[in-house]
Amino acid sequence: MAVLLFIALSGYQDGIMLSGRVYIDETYFPVYPSDFVHNTDGSRLRGLSRNSISVSCATDGVHKILIAIGRGKPDAERTWLAYGSHILPGSTIVHDGENGHSVLLKRIPGLREEIHTTEETRGLPDRENPMDPINDFHRLAKLFMRAHGAYSREHIQDWLNVFSMMSNPPFDRKAKIRELLKRVMEMRIRLKYRDFYKKKHL
């Protein structure tokens, strides 16, 4: 059943638009140990390396997106691919001053920014941290993914789509179920029996 859910939610986040004060930041999920990349001397890579999957997250307090953009720290182009089609012109991005985020200011008309560096916010209680809306979103996403710790890294975006639907309107449970059932009923995809039972997709 997970495969059908993933198919139904494929592209779910495409139409989500964020406006007003938009909090953006990246969070990271580890790859499987068997997929680790090592230095030439056999030692582990350090920092935000290719052994981490980068996920771009954003919220305006109502709507939310989570987009997996590959391994390691994202560059400007991957940042643009993640956020560029989701932030409305004239909004204000609230971020940590990451250099890659500057591409958004260059390409989205009327976009403004509010910067709170990691050095500024480190150690602040949640209620005093101006980045808490996105930090809280990160925490919830990590709790969700840890609850499904055996998820396929190859299909991490499928799991992120599920969490996105859980996190976005409508917030009434019955309305959300109706929306999901509508997406399932409107699917027009041929799924081979063998593909349905592929374990790697779960």
Q: Is the pLDDT of residue 41 over 70?
A: no
Q: Is the pLDDT of residue 3 over 70?
A: yes
Which phi and psi (to 5°) does residue 146 adopt? -65, -35
Whether 167 is covered by a domain: the verdict is no
Q: How does pLDDT run across 173-194, given as a tens digit for each residue?
A: 999 999 988 888 887 766 565 6
CATH number at residue 68: 3.30.420
Whether 165 is covered by a domain: the verdict is no
Domain that holds residue 83: 15-154
What pLDDT shows up at residue 153? 84
Q: How does pLDDT run across 44-92, given as a tens digit for each residue?
A: 555 556 788 999 999 999 999 999 999 988 999 999 999 999 999 999 9
Whether 6 is covered by a domain: the verdict is no
Place of tokens 């027009």: 188
Q: How does pLDDT run across 96-110, given as a tens digit for each residue?
A: 999 999 999 999 999
Whether 5 is covered by a domain: the verdict is no
Confidence of residue 32 (pLDDT cuts 50, 70, 90): low
Whether 191 is covered by a domain: the verdict is no
Q: How many domains is the chain partitioned into structurally?
A: 1
0.75 exceeded by pTM: yes
Pairing of strands 112-115, 92-95: parallel
CA-to-CA separations, 173 to 38, 45, 169, 177, in angstroms, rounded: 45, 43, 10, 6
Whether 135 is covered by a domain: the verdict is yes
Whether 113 is covered by a domain: the verdict is yes
**Do 69 and 82 contact (CB within 8 A), yes or no?**
yes
What pLDDT shows up at residue 199? 45
How many beta carbons lie within 10 A of that of residue 176, not counting itself? 15
What spatial distance separates the first Cα and last Cα of the chain, rounded to whole Å? 9
Whether 160 is covered by a domain: the verdict is no
Q: How does pLDDT run across 108-162, given as a tens digit for each residue?
A: 999 999 999 999 999 999 999 999 999 999 999 999 999 987 788 888 999 999 9
What pLDDT shows up at residue 200? 47
Question: Contacts for 167-174 with beta carbons within 8 Å, 24 or more apart?
Answer: 167/64, 167/137, 167/140, 168/16, 168/63, 168/64, 169/62, 169/63
**What is the C-alpha to C-alpha distance for residues 120 and 125, in angstroms, rounded to an integer?**
12
What pLDDT shows up at residue 44? 59
